[in-house]
Chains A and B, each alone.
Chain A
Amino acid sequence: MGKYIVKRFIMMIATILIIATLTFVLMHLIPGSPFEGERTTNPTIQANLEKFYKLDEPLHIQYLSYLKSIVTFDFGPSIKKPNESVNELLARGFPISFELGMATILVALLSGIILGTIAALRHNGLVDYFAMTFAVVGISVPNFVLATLLIQQLAVTWDLLPAATWSSPLHMILPIIALATGPTAIIARLTRSSMLEVLTQDYIKMARAKGLSPVRIIVRHALRNALMPVVTILGTMLAGILTGTFVIERIFAIPGMGKYFVESINNRDYPVIMGTTVFYSAFLVFMLFIVDIVYGLLDPRIKLHRKEGDA
């Protein structure tokens, strides 16, 4: 196990390095610079500014100092808001985005698994048809469309819930619904199909022959086996939810990281682009690692390590 974690850790660092390099290259491929706006600045001032931010140096020197800032995790101040460092931006925005993302994952997992299981148990019944219709709609409707519809109906027309911002649990409901519907639908479909397969297995018949209660058979015997595919897609789904938060945060005016991320690219705010990208990718890579560990815990046949002497 220890050996596996070390190996995965090295791979994670390599992955982040590749992402960071690609980001750097792309960032400098975009025409323009932080100081080119609608107003034309005096060339001397511009040169001075570039000198101050070390943007006048050759690219490979910039790349090296960029790598250094990643290793030390100090990205320096934002160019557009010089009184704020990138680290401060992350510290303020990330907890909110994290809250939204985790709540979404939790809601999607819980409701998706429950919905999928019930659909499988009532296979070809009314509940099944209803759940699968919901799933198809959920997968097909993009979250930003759903978000605007939700605001229109629940917040504006019926005035039940607040339409925007992030200040109380009540405020969280709409963005979470908007963000979780797609993943819920995917998880429900996946749970249903793998549950249907598991329910025909011999060990389920054997559990019935033991005279166990239906609840125990589903929860203890079937679910654990049926959830393997769900855990598998959880990794990629996390990435989807993360990018989803950018859009949803904008629609609901949530002061999370998404706002800074999008703005920084529009503004060519190099330190912020670097900081947010590297931070996000590190987070995602780490979550994927967690998913792999969970996979091994769920199914004892999957060994994360290889013993000495094994083939």
Chain B
Amino acid sequence: MNEQQLDIAKEHVKQRVNEVDKSLPVGTSETQRNRKKTKKVRSDVKVLQVDNLQVSFRTYGGEVEAVRGVSFDLHQGETLAIVGESGCGKSVTSNAIMGLIPEPAGVIKNGSVLFKGKELTGMSKPQLRKIQGVDISMIFQDPMTALNPTLTIGEQLTEGLRTHKKVSKQEAKQKAIEMLELVGIPNPKERLKQFPHQFSGGMRQRIVIAIALICEPELLIADEPTTALDVTIQAQILELFEEIQQKTNISIILITHDLGVVAKIADRIAVMYAGKVVEIGDKRAIFYTPEHPYTKGLLNSVPRLDLVEEELQPIEGTPPDLFSPPKGCPFTARCPYAMEVCDHVYPFTTTISESHAVDCWLQDERAKVLQELS
């Protein structure tokens, strides 16, 4: 590609970006896009503390160890993104926090989930129900199936509120209208009487978000909230998340495999592989100084607009079978830097900085010596 062609291509991209900007609804464009990105100060309040969480599923083929010791903290007003490929345990982790592991097949084998000091694992179902939807809410991947086709939007919005808080029908309706306004649905009053099939996909996801937020929860778990949407709608929904977080100071756990989404709204990133968090850290640390070979591989396999004619580098191989997970580091088989020790012993967690930790033998002093020698 010569210089001239490149210029034309760049111009074309710029035009497309402008078009997309213009196509966004009035409320979301100018003000939000141009607002100054104030750097968030991390609160000291820990909303959620997950420690050594282990979840297994009993199947006909044997026991699948889906989550094998996951630990992380979440501060107030913070967005933590959990990334990783399919089947790495992202969704199971979020379901376990939410108390939605399908029983009797799924079991939380070990570990603790502390929500504002309250232990959620082992809590009875009626107790859990007082937290679900009130303190912790969840947003699902596919807005086309997450709403009940036979109930009106109004009923689906207000039923959580009516169950958990003592409000009259009228108050609940008023609150529902406010919520629909917040998520940017025009004519909320008329829309309440409509059914899900009368809304587009993006609108439905906005409704799902409104439902999740109506009881003013402190923690929102979003399980791939934009995966099923097309790109322009994705951008709008992400804007909405940022806006809501600014207004309510809610903490968000974002489950995704889309690193573009992560770059946009996450504060911290946890990279999961084969049921373990292999690297966790601030967004900048993960994107600019990734330490785990898997994280590096993930970043290399993302297409980039600023580099022309660079081939994507996929990570070769497939994740290990979680029916019988390997003793050592699960990434060994696919790791270009694998050493003898990786096969036998799972690495210790190395703290690189206050907010960056990684599970990898390459961080060991002896490995560094070895590298220098070779």
17 pairs, A vs B, C-beta closer than 8 Å: A202-B141, A202-B142, A203-B149, A205-B140, A205-B146, A206-B140, A206-B208, A209-B133, A210-B132, A210-B133, A210-B211, A211-B130, A211-B164, A212-B163, A220-B159, A224-B151, A300-B150
Interface residues of B in 111-154 (CB under 8 A from A): 128-134, 137-138, 140-142, 145-151
A298 on the B face (CB < 8 A): yes
Choose one: A206, A211, A216, A298; the contact of B134 (CB below 8 Å): A211
A88 on the B face (CB < 8 A): no
Residues of B within 8 A of A205 (CB): 100, 140, 146
**12 more A-B residue pairs beyond the given contacts A212-B133, A299-B150, A300-B149, with a C-beta to C-beta distance below 8 A:** A202-B141, A203-B146, A203-B149, A208-B100, A209-B132, A210-B159, A210-B160, A210-B211, A211-B132, A220-B151, A300-B150, A300-B195
Number of interface residues of A (CB under 8 A): 21
A211 to B162, CA, bound (A): 11
Interface residues of B in 194-210 (CB under 8 A from A): 195, 197, 208
How far apart are B140's CB and chain A's nearest CB, in angstroms? 5
Residues of B within 8 A of A201 (CB): 145
Interface 0/1 of A203-226, CB less than 8 Å to B: 101111111110010001100110
**Contact between chains at A221 and B151 (CB < 8 Å):** yes
Closest CB pairs A-B (n = 9): A211-B132, A211-B133, A210-B133, A202-B145, A210-B160, A211-B129, A209-B138, A203-B148, A300-B195
Q: How many interface residues does chain B have, given as a range? A: 20 to 34
Residues of B within 8 A of A203 (CB): 145-149
B362 on the A face (CB < 8 A): no
**Contact between chains at B149 and A301 (CB < 8 Å):** yes
Interface residues of A in 195-249 (CB under 8 A from B): 201-203, 205-213, 216, 220-221, 224-225
For B197, give the chain A residue with the smallest CB separation.
A301
Interface 0/1 of B46-67, CB less than 8 Å to A: 0000000000000000000000
**Contact between chains at A206 and B150 (CB < 8 Å):** no
Residues of B within 8 A of A206 (CB): 138, 140, 146-147, 208, 211
Number of A-B residue pairs having CB atoms within 8 Å of each other in the complex: 75
For A214, give the chain B residue with the smallest CB separation.
B125
B residues with a Cβ closer than 8 A to A are: 98, 100, 128-134, 137-138, 140-142, 145-151, 159-160, 163-164, 195, 197, 208, 211-212
A201 to B197, CA, bound (A): 16
Residues of A within 8 A of B160 (CB): 210-212
A299 to B142, CA, bound (A): 21
**Contact between chains at B100 and A209 (CB < 8 Å):** yes
For B155, give the chain A residue with the smallest CB separation.
A220
How far apart are B134's CB and chain A's nearest CB, in angstroms? 6
A209 to B148, CA, bound (A): 13
For B152, give the chain A residue with the smallest CB separation.
A300
Residues of A within 8 A of B129 (CB): 211-213
**Contact between chains at A213 and B146 (CB < 8 Å):** no
How far apart are A251's CB and chain B's nearest CB, in angstroms? 41
Residues of A within 8 A of B145 (CB): 201-203
A205 to B95, CA, bound (A): 10
How far apart are A127's CB and chain B's nearest CB, in angstroms? 15
How far apart are B99's CB and chain A's nearest CB, in angstroms? 9
**Contact between chains at A299 and B132 (CB < 8 Å):** no
Choose one: A207, A208, A216, A224; the contact of B150 (CB below 8 Å): A224
**Contact between chains at B137 and A212 (CB < 8 Å):** no
A299 to B148, CA, bound (A): 11
Residues of B within 8 A of A301 (CB): 149, 195, 197
Residues of A within 8 A of B140 (CB): 202, 205-206, 209
For A228, give the chain B residue with the smallest CB separation.
B150
Residues of B within 8 A of A202 (CB): 140-142, 145-146
A300 to B212, CA, bound (A): 24
For B195, give the chain A residue with the smallest CB separation.
A300
Interface 0/1 of A274-311, CB less than 8 Å to B: 00000000000000000000000011110000000000
Residues of B within 8 A of A208 (CB): 100, 132
Residues of A within 8 A of B212 (CB): 209
Known: A221-B151, A299-B150, A300-B150. A210 touches B197 (CB 8 A): no
A210 to B162, CA, bound (A): 11
How far apart are B160's CB and chain A's nearest CB, in angstroms? 4
Residues of A within 8 A of B100 (CB): 205, 208-209
For A227, give the chain B residue with the smallest CB separation.
B150
A202 to B151, CA, bound (A): 14
Residues of A within 8 A of B211 (CB): 206, 210
**Contact between chains at A299 and B149 (CB < 8 Å):** yes
**Contact between chains at B130 and A221 (CB < 8 Å):** no
How far apart are A300's CB and chain B's nearest CB, in angstroms? 4
